[in-house]
Amino acid sequence: MINLIIDNKPVTVEEGTTILEAAKQINIKIPALCYMDLGELKMVNKVSSCRICSVEVEGRRNLAPSCSTPVAEGMKIHTNSKRVLFARRKLLELMLSNHPFDCLTCNKSTDCDLQTLAVQFGVNAKHFKGVRSSFPVDTSSQALRRDPEKCIMCRRCETMCNEVQTVGAITAFGRGFNTVVAPAEMQPLVNSNCVYCGQCVTVCPTGALTAVGYMKETWDALFDPSKKVVVQVAPAIRAAIGEEFGMPDGTAVTGKLVAALHQLGFDAVFDTTFAADLTIMEEGKEIIERIQKNENLPILTSCCPGWINFLEFHFPQLKYMPSTSKSPHQMMGTVVKTYYAEKIGVKPEDMVVISVMPCIAKKYEAAQPNLETNGIRDVDYVITTRELAKMFKEAGIDLKDMPDEEFDNPLGESTGAGVIFGSSGGVLEAALRTVYEVVTGNKLENIDFAAVRGLAGVKEAFIDLNGRIIRVAATSGLGNARKILEKVEDGSIKYDVIEIMACPGGCVNGGGQPFCHDRQEKIEARMRAIYEIDHTTKVRKSHENASVQKLYDEFFGEPGSEKAHQLLHTDYWF
Ligand code: HC1
Ligand code: SF4
């Protein structure tokens, strides 16, 4: 163990601990920009490029970056001496000298770490003048917005993309002042192998990486009297949007959310969770068929577009493995513009479907031509949890003050199984609840598959289907998905079903969710909220959703029917 003194307080820590971590242990918070500790993901960004965390070490000539300097016996450290504070302010001023001063209109405003530090350190004047770097904004993907002029070269996005997600879509090019983090050969993102998981957005400290916004289009639709505007909300929204209104982490706000959406002016408020139940009916049918025929196993879940994009670039040879079911929000879009449109006597072209998603890849997914029905997009626009919170604020709606209201019918009824889709392991658990009962004809005594819940990168379980023991796994984070798929490919592991979600922890941690600084605690709180909703919902199995049963009776016939295949399934284009 190492003994040292930080700001006159003695502390004893393990060898190898950095000064920043040692200070944290005695509640001394050293500001930092490039540093990032991803906790459960065991990934730390220590490039020491911003130097904001510099501290004074007695006996050393230069200030030391505390995020990457290990402690040593007897060290005496000052984290807020005159020299340290002066240096931090100058560093911030230097960074800002090459930054567009458009905080008022930046969509990261109030959530920007650089802005927060500039305020904290009283940076109130532009002391450095000179040339500024100039790069175009890239919105080519319709999903991820890159604004390189706001990049401070912290390299957090590179660590996330290259090491956690193992995608390798962005890296630094150039030297000195001309350095820029960009896709290979500085191509627009849409020509790169970016999968739009949005995890780089969750760690970018400034407005350099954000999402392409569709609030204007949503407002335009709401104000257009000739359109019937339908909104659907993903399972994970209800567990997180309360954070934007000062509610404690993990507060489930389903009823308030519905009331606020009604107040905003949507003609119908539907639940993506209904479509999650529908997905289980279709995907469950595929799972049963493939297991019974023992072919094309393991079957991989297909509801996460970030993961499907990853498959396209990194494992195209496995494209026969995913389920062909569309993702729930795309199924909802199709059902709204066919079954529901017919029911209310409105032409599909006069309807607008808005999806509120915790995800950035859903924006890209919704724009793909293979997800159109009769030449009309299933989903017109996707807005994130953050965008919806902004719209509520713009309309003067405080979620805290809203009453509880119910989703509209006929596409608003859902089950606990549909809700848990929002958390890693939930799609698999929902599928198992249905597949078990359909195959065995027996009632499942304990419907909680606790083994596949939680933040661990890979979780597995076994289940007995009338003597056939099936082995299943849930994995989240694309780095984990890569490891598991490599083992599947080389035959060193055998599974029957694998759920894959691109974002570590699943949709609760999607790239469109409220930003989290105390990341792991927030994600766990959101997960708890999701399972609490499941636990307290009367119907907890997808095949028991009465509105889904009615939809089959009135429209699709049965799961896997020709009509269901035509409207609820897709093929992979790569
Ligand atoms: Fe998800 Fe899904 S669970 S992908 O994480 O299958 O985005 O919440 O809506 O479509 O249901 C996201 C969440 C979401 C779909 C469902
Ligand atoms: Fe990489 Fe995902 Fe960001 Fe694309 S969205 S650059 S894949 S982390």
In this structure, what CATH number is given to the domain that contains residue 459? 3.40.50.1780
* Beta partners for residue 44, in sequence order: 37
Where does 42-97 have alpha helices with state H? Answer: 82-97
328 Cα nearest atom in ligand 1? 10
Q: Is residue 250 part of a domain?
A: yes
User: What domain range includes position 468?
Assistant: 216-568
C-alpha 465/C-alpha 102 separation (Å) is 59
Q: Is residue 573 part of a domain?
A: no
Per-residue pLDDT for the chain (574 aa), expressed as one digit of tens each? 999 999 999 999 999 999 999 999 999 999 999 998 877 666 677 778 899 999 999 999 999 999 999 999 999 999 999 999 999 999 999 999 889 989 999 989 999 999 999 999 988 766 667 788 889 999 999 999 999 999 999 999 999 999 999 999 999 988 888 889 999 989 999 999 999 999 999 999 999 999 999 999 999 999 999 999 999 999 999 999 999 999 999 999 999 999 999 999 999 999 999 999 999 999 999 999 999 999 999 999 999 999 999 999 999 999 999 999 999 999 999 999 999 999 999 999 999 999 999 999 999 999 998 899 889 999 999 999 999 999 999 999 999 999 999 999 999 999 999 999 999 999 999 999 999 999 999 999 899 999 999 999 999 999 999 999 999 999 999 999 999 999 999 999 999 999 999 999 999 999 999 998 667 889 999 999 999 999 999 999 999 999 999 999 999 999 999 999 999 999 876 6
C-alpha 141/C-alpha 83 separation (Å) is 45
Do 324 and 457 lie in a common domain?
Answer: yes
Do 237 and 361 lie in a common domain?
Answer: yes
Q: Is residue 89 part of a domain?
A: no
CA distances from 280 to 269, 307, 359, 432 (A): 21, 18, 20, 9
Do 57 and 144 lie in a common domain?
Answer: no
Q: Is residue 21 part of a domain?
A: yes
Determine whether the shortest distance from the Cβ of 272 to ligand 1 is under 6 A: yes
What is the domain-level CATH number for residue 38? 3.10.20.740
196 Cα nearest atom in ligand 2? 5
Do 220 and 206 lie in a common domain?
Answer: no
Do 43 and 189 lie in a common domain?
Answer: no
Do 47 and 108 lie in a common domain?
Answer: no
Do 205 and 255 lie in a common domain?
Answer: no
Do 278 and 387 lie in a common domain?
Answer: yes
Which of 186, 211, 236 lies at the terminal end of a domain, its last residue? 211
Ligand in closest contact with the CA of 199 = 2
Q: Is residue 92 part of a domain?
A: no
Where does 81-223 have alpha helices with state H? Answer: 82-97, 113-120, 156-158, 199-203, 215-222
Determine whether the shortest distance from the Cβ of 236 to ligand 1 is under 6 A: yes
Instruction: State pTM to two decimals.
Output: 0.95
Ligand in closest contact with the CA of 332 = 1
Q: Is residue 91 part of a domain?
A: no
Q: Is residue 85 part of a domain?
A: no
Determine whether the shortest distance from the Cβ of 276 to ligand 1 is under 6 A: yes
Residues 161 and 383 sit within 8 Å (Cβ to Cβ): no
Q: Is residue 240 part of a domain?
A: yes
Which of 211, 243, 266 lies at the terminal end of a domain, its last residue? 211
Residue nearest to ligand 2 atom 4, measured at CA: 194
Do 127 and 198 lie in a common domain?
Answer: yes
Q: How many domains does the chain have?
A: 3
Name all residues whose Cβ lies below 6 A of ligand 2: 144, 160-161, 165, 167, 169-170, 194-200
C-alpha 274/C-alpha 414 separation (Å) is 5
Do 181 and 307 lie in a common domain?
Answer: no
What is the domain-level CATH number for residue 145? 3.30.70.20
Do 159 and 244 lie in a common domain?
Answer: no
267 CA to centre of ligand 2 in angstroms: 35
Substitution candidate for ligand 1 out of 231, 274, 323, 327 with most atoms within 8 A of CB? 327
Would you tell me how many other CB atoms lie within 10 Å of the CB of residue 344? 13
Residue nearest to ligand 2 atom 1, measured at CA: 161
540 CA to centre of ligand 1 in angstroms: 17
CA distances from 380 to 170, 337, 513, 548 (A): 28, 11, 20, 23
Determine whether the shortest distance from the Cβ of 510 to ligand 1 is under 6 A: yes
Contacts of 120 (CB under 8 A, 6+ apart): 31
Which of 211, 238, 270 lies at the terminal end of a domain, its last residue? 211
Do 517 and 461 lie in a common domain?
Answer: yes
Contacts of 451 (CB under 8 A, 6+ apart): 459, 460, 461
